[in-house]
Structure 1
Amino acid sequence: MNRMKCKLVTLITLALLIPLTAWAAPKVELSISAEKSIVVEENGEKVTKQVAATEVTPGETLTYTINFVNSGDESATNVAIVDPLPEGSSYIAGSASKTGELTFSIDNGKTYKKPSLLNYKIKNSSGAEEQKVASPEEYTHVRWLIPAIAAGEKGSVSFEVLMK
């Protein structure tokens, strides 16, 4: 009888705990902004300010910032933040923030590698295959892998592009 009572208490305890663990979950939310620098005059001096990039022209540099927050009640692990580069732009080498592990894609987000490993093959004029290292202008996506974002933690990642 004591054995049966012990099993019953264990089952009731588990039944009470399982829903609690099911409710605890990470919830990473992202928001993105695109800004450009403009020069304005304030108090007789020229000042550079960042403003929303609602209109862009070729040759302008845009800064993309992705803000993240874990609004859940548990740590989020191995979070991938991916952003495709805007059409008509090229990535500015070295401009991405160094949060987490930074990798890039040259195949529209199918694969990601560090810049020195982003290779592709072409046939040269004699028909032989040559391996080339991709230039930043050939990047299609930026990805940050963040090992952990604690519950309530906020942060941001960013990169710059040159509009063509």
Structure 2
Amino acid sequence: MKTKRFASLFAIFALATAVPAQAEDVVSLTGNVLVERTVVENGESRIVYQAPDRVVPGDKLVFSTDYDNTTSQDVEQFVVTNPVPAAVTVAPESAAELDVSVDGGQSWGRLADLTIAGTDGAVRAATASDVTHIRWVLPMIAAGENGSLTYNAIVR
């Protein structure tokens, strides 16, 4: 298996936001990615999440976007849109639960409701590997509120 450098994976994990102009100054966003590893200690295995120094195909990742409203102003209808790095596929369990796009962010919906044109032009049901973007719409971020949005992915 060919090793992929984490730096290049993280470089393509850029946060894109579609928010009202005044919200940009109110809510800060921070992106992070962790790799799931199984470690064995004293003969027992357990799962840990670590900052990856390198990843290989099949590694499971957790992408997160932390948001923080550090002001005294509530923010309504805050939208966070994350492009999915080309080096990963969204894990099927995440893709099924989130608002996703399979066409570069042009249209949105639940994966089960989306279709895509195949290379032969025939329309087929979209799959988790077709997801190009993930979006969260937060109805309200109260003053001082913070939280985290996550999705799982697998290195291609």
Q: 2:113 aligns with which of 92, 117, 121?
A: 117
Higher radius of gyration, 1 or 2: 1
Matches within 5 A, 1:15-164: 27-42=26-41, 45-95=44-94, 102-122=98-118, 130-164=122-156
Shift of 1:132: 1.9
Q: Shift of residue 26 of structure 1?
A: 6.7
User: Secondary structure of the equivalent of 1:112?
Assistant: coil
- Please report the RMSD computed on the Cα atoms of aligned residues, expressed in angstroms: 2.6
Structure 1 portions without partners, runs of 5+: 1-22
Number of residue-to-residue matches in the alignment: 134
**Is 102-111 or 35-44 further displaced after alignment?**
35-44
Distance 1:133 1:96 in 2: 13
Q: Aligned partner of 2:147: which letter?
A: G
Change (3 A) 1:140 1:107: same
Contact 2:114 2:126 in 1 (8 A): yes
1:46 aligns to what SS in structure 2?
strand
Letter in 2 for 1:144: W
Contact map agreement 2:112 2:125 (CA 8 A) in 1: yes
In the superposition, the TM-score normalised over structure 2's length comes to 0.74
TM-score, normalisation: structure 1 = 0.71
AA aligned opposite 1:117:
D
